[in-house]
Structure 1
Amino acid sequence: MTTELLLAFIAFAFVTSVTPGPNNMMLLASGVNFGLRRSLPHMFGISLGFMLLVASVGLGLGQLFEQVPLLYDVLRYLGAAYLLYLAWKIANSGAPDSQATTRSKPFSFLQAAAFQWVNPKAWIMAIGAITTYTPQENFVVNVLLIAALFALVNCPSVGLWTVAGSLLRNWLSNARALRVFNIGMALLLVASLYPIFADTGLL
């Protein structure tokens, strides 16, 4: 991999990781509702899960979807349904010290890692990384390098949203303000599904 291609990929990884999407909306909400420390497993789970997704796409899963497009469609719909469920959970989150939040928990490391496999934006990012930035020479080595670099860039990028959420935590100590914030985050999470619904002709 040339230096120019490597720098271009790092820029791609940063921009796609830091821009709004399901992971970042959930981390922002998690930072507000649970704080930075309790949201760390969620952050690290996203990066590791995404690294495994990129590697899997590069090592053959992407070719499987090309041969059986129905599998990709099923995955997209399952992901959309799960995101709607998560949006409902976020909208109904309680205040940080309320009994409702005491009963609820932030995403665990494994939950966040597993979520990447049904996250539509993650699939688009992974396929784009492999098809655009992975040289064919020494392909397997380059796939593993791309996957590892993406995780290294992704973790601090999504972490910015968690930090932003934790900084807003004190400002949203009022139960009504937090309720409005959580509903807004839920609506933004639903809005992130627009490309899926538009692609299917439902919008």
Structure 2
Amino acid sequence: METQAILALLAFGVVSSFTPGPNNLMLMASGANFGVRRTMPHMMGVVIGFSLMIVILGLGLFGLFHAWPASFTVLKVVSVVYTLYLAWKIARAAPPGTGNPEGKPMTFLQAAAFQWVNPKAWTMGLSAITLYAPDARLVSILIIAGVFGFMSLASTGTWMMMGLSIRRWLSSHTRLLAYNYSMAALLVGSIALAV
């Protein structure tokens, strides 16, 4: 991959990784509700899961989706339904220690698996492969996965810390409820833009 293409990929990675989307909004909500230590598995699941998704897409899954166009429709329906379910869970999240079973952060495996139904992740991954690895060379695919792995680490960490920074303000049940409903609404809005 040429230097100019890598710089363009970096710019694409920054813009697409740091803008609001399901991962970032859920990590902000998790940071606010559960803190850094309990949110870290969720964050690392996003970073590793998305990077792995890019590699798998680049090594052939991308072609499968083009061969069977109906799969995009199936993917959109599954993505929307699952993201609506996650928005519902965010809206119902309660502070840790309240005994509310809905008050659990996403695990590493759940976050990694979520990448496969995350509309923004699909859009980012497919766009990056189309633009920066049209030849499907392994080196190009690994560079894209590495760039997005680094950008995901930076962006998800930033969004989690933004959530953590307002955690004290959310000590009021009313403010926490309003925040969680707002995050759920933004999550639903983020999928509306992607599908």
Q: RMSD between aligned alpha carbons?
A: 1.5
Q: Structure 1: give runs of 5+ residues left out of the alignment.
A: 198-203
Residues of 2 paired with 1:71 and 1:195: CA distance?
A: 19
For the residue of structure 1 that corresponds to 2:171, the secondary structure is coil
- Structure 1 stretches of 4+ with a deviation exceeding 6 A read none
Match of 1:139 among 137, 140, 152: 137
Residues of 2 paired with 1:46 and 1:67: CA distance?
A: 28
Residues of 1 paired with 2:158 and 2:194: CA distance?
A: 26
Q: Letter of the 2:178 partner, please give it.
A: V
C-alpha deviation, 1:56, in angstroms: 1.3
Residues of 1 paired with 2:22 and 2:121: CA distance?
A: 9
Q: Letter of the 1:160 partner, please give it.
A: T
Assess if the C-alpha contact under 8 Å between 1:76 and 1:196 holds in 2: no
Q: Structure 2: give runs of 5+ residues left out of the alignment.
A: none
For the residue of structure 2 that corresponds to 1:172, the secondary structure is helix
Q: Letter of the 1:76 partner, please give it.
A: K
- Give TM-score scaled by structure 1 length: 0.91
User: Is 2:55 the counterpart of 1:55?
Assistant: yes
Residues of 2 paired with 1:63 and 1:20: CA distance?
A: 28
Q: Letter of the 1:16 partner, please give it.
A: S
CA 1:97–1:18 in 2, change beyond 3 Å: closer, same or farther? same
- Give TM-score scaled by structure 2 length: 0.95
Residues of 2 paired with 1:51 and 1:8: CA distance?
A: 18
Residues of 2 paired with 1:195 and 1:96: CA distance?
A: 32
For the residue of structure 2 that corresponds to 1:16, the secondary structure is helix
C-alpha deviation, 1:151, in angstroms: 0.6
1:91-130 matched pairs, under 5 angstroms: 91-100=91-100, 104-130=103-129
Task: Give the paired residue count.
Answer: 195
Who is 2:173 aligned against? Answer: 175
Residues of 2 paired with 1:73 and 1:162: CA distance?
A: 31
Who is 1:159 aligned against? Answer: 157
Residues of 2 paired with 1:152 and 1:134: CA distance?
A: 18
Assess if the C-alpha contact under 8 Å between 2:120 and 2:191 holds in 1: no
C-alpha deviation, 1:140, in angstroms: 1.6
